Amino acid sequence: MARVLTPRAEDFPRWYQDLIAKAQLAENGPVRGTMVIRPVGYAIWERMQADMDARIKEVGVQNAYFPLFIPESYLRREADHVDGFSPELAVVTHAGGKELAEPLVVRPTSETVIGEFMAKWVDSYRDLPLLLNQWANVVRWELRPRTFLRTTEFLWQEGHDAHATEADARAFARTIHHSIYQAFMEEILAVPVVPGRKTKAERFAGATNTMTVEAMMGDTKALQMGTSHELGQNFAKAFDITYSSAAGKVEYAWTTSWGTSTRMMGGLIMVHGDDNGLRLPPRLAPIQVQIMVVKAGEGVAEAAGKLRDELKTAGVRVKLDDRADIPFGRRAVDAELQGIPIRIEVGPRDLAGGSVTIARRIDGSKTPTPLGAVLGAVTSALKADQQRMYDAALAFREANTVEVKTLGEAIEAAQTGWARVPWSAVGEAGEKEANGKAVTVRCLTRGDGSMPDSDEESGLVAYLARSY
């Protein structure tokens, strides 16, 4: 098969951009830092969205929608928040041919506008918890854009909730983080992640605690795939989100926020892609099986159509490609680029012997298969390849993560992978030193990998890496 991408080992960033273009996932928009997500790419995002949306609703969250434009004064009510986002803000000063009395911010995130409405909707302890989520676009002015990874405008979900106690808020943030984010990424995207606590320097603006899920990309850099934030009572006090307790006392609520974005698309590409293009985990793939007519012939189209119907009835997401007027090689290359997990090649010669060829994207194998055994072979392969992708990504991460004891060793190891080092050997001063060498502390965990309750706990482990 002719090479259409720059090899990953030769130039990873160029390979990444080549893949996005050749697989028809996305293109740059007309404004620097924006992107056009093409139908092939958007179908993948829709699958991500649908699965995660179902998980979010399962824990009692309801979807809503809030405005794109936020009064600038709202952001200024929470000092850390506005300071954290000021360099990234897009501000509207004129509209309708006139200068606005108050500038409007194009939402970089919605804590402030949602806080305004939470204050209206919460009156009594009976109104809590208030669990909200929205699927929306946001704008953060990006100086160094890269498709899916860092764009000025991107798509995401952002959850916001209010609780009666700090314990309730903390427990819910962790439920989102582990039972939804980590589970979705590992079970559906086949991307192993390290859940951990961000350091004070890396914490979300206005939060008392930020939790992250970090994944290793194919070049060993780290990517933050999603975050959950405990906001304490900071936003409740700024927006007067109060409730009357069962004892009749007026109390401030405790809030959290959490989000994942189209950055997951970039992570998916960089974890699983190879020199032939994208490789999609079967549970995620919009098209799990593509049936391809290799060459027109007697009974070929009918056999292909029958296979499609059989697989569709069994719940397989299947597409029939019967474009025999387009060279088979070209169509096969496109299927490889777009990461379709299985191709079933139907041609006159194999069909005469009562068989077809099953081609698996994950390992490149091609297996002649009797027509009567296709359904069983396909379902078995889809299940096996999902697990195979996760296992390969996990093995790669483990092989490229080293245990070290000093900051110097950690910085050196982070040039080619991840380093696990005692946080006591790094500290805030060491974190600044590492940052100066393009290495960041991705997260803190306990020695057993569990989530810390505080970054003051003894025995914490820091993960250091280069990152996107």
Per-residue model confidence as pLDDT tens digits over 25-55: 999 999 999 999 999 999 999 999 999 999 9
Q: How confident is the model at residue 78 (pLDDT cuts 50, 70, 90)?
A: confident
pLDDT tens figures, 87-143: 899 999 999 999 999 999 999 999 999 999 999 999 999 999 999 999 999 999 998
Options 3.40.140.10, 3.40.50.800, 3.40.50.2300, 3.30.420.40; which CATH number does 289-384 get?
3.40.50.800
Query: For the ranges 55-59, 309-313, 348-352, which has the lowest average pLDDT?
Result: 348-352
Domain residue ranges in the chain: 12-272, 289-384, 401-465
Helix (H) or strand (E) holding 334: helix 328-337
Burial class (CB in 10 A: 0-12, 13-18, 19+), 228: buried
Examine the pLDDT at 159 and tell me if it is beyond 50.
yes
Task: Kindly state the average pLDDT of the residues 201-209.
Answer: 95
The two three-digit tokens of residue 451, written as one number: 């989530």
Q: Where are the alpha helices (DSSP H) in 205-321?
A: 234-239, 263-272, 300-313
**pLDDT at residue 225 greater than cutoff 70:** yes
pLDDT of residue 2: 52
Find the mean pLDDT for residues 367-396. Answer: 98
pLDDT over threshold 80, residue 3: no
Q: What integer pLDDT is reported at residue 1 of this predicted model?
A: 46
Q: Which amino acid belongs to residue 351?
A: L
Residue 277 per-residue DSSP state: B
Average pLDDT of the chain is 97
Q: What does the pLDDT average to over 424-451?
A: 97
Range 401-465 classified under CATH 3.30.110.30: yes
When pLDDT is averaged across residues 256-271 and rounded to a whole number, the result is 98
Higher pLDDT, 2 or 342: 342
Give per-residue pLDDT as tens, 268-303: 999 999 999 999 999 999 999 999 999 988 899 999
Q: How much is the average pLDDT of 413-417?
A: 98
> What single-letter amino acid sits at 88?
E
Find the farthest-apart pair of alpha carbons in the chain and give their distance in angstroms, rounded.
81
- Does residue 13 have a cis bond before it (omega within 30 degrees)? no
- Of 15, 449, 17, 4, residue with least CA distance to 192: 449
What is the pTM (predicted TM-score) of this model?
Answer: 0.96
- The architecture of the domain spanning 12-272 is 2-Layer Sandwich (3.30)
Residue 156 in this model has a pLDDT that exceeds 90: yes
User: Within a 10 A sphere around the Cβ of 364, how many other Cβ atoms?
Assistant: 11
Task: Determine the straight-line distance between the first and last CA of the chain, rounded to whole angstroms.
Answer: 31
Please say whether the dihedral angle defined by the alpha carbons of residues 391, 49, 213 and 402, taken in this order, is positive or negative.
Answer: positive
Over residues 206-229, the mean pLDDT reads 98
User: Which residue is associated with the tokens 């299927």?
Assistant: 335
Say what percent of the chain tops pLDDT 90. Answer: 96
Q: Which H/E stretch holds residue 380?
A: helix 374-399
Q: Give pLDDT, residue 79.
A: 80
DSSP three-state, residue 341: coil
- 325, pLDDT greater than 70: yes
Q: How sure is the predictor about 194, in pLDDT bands with cuts at 50, 70 and 90?
A: very high
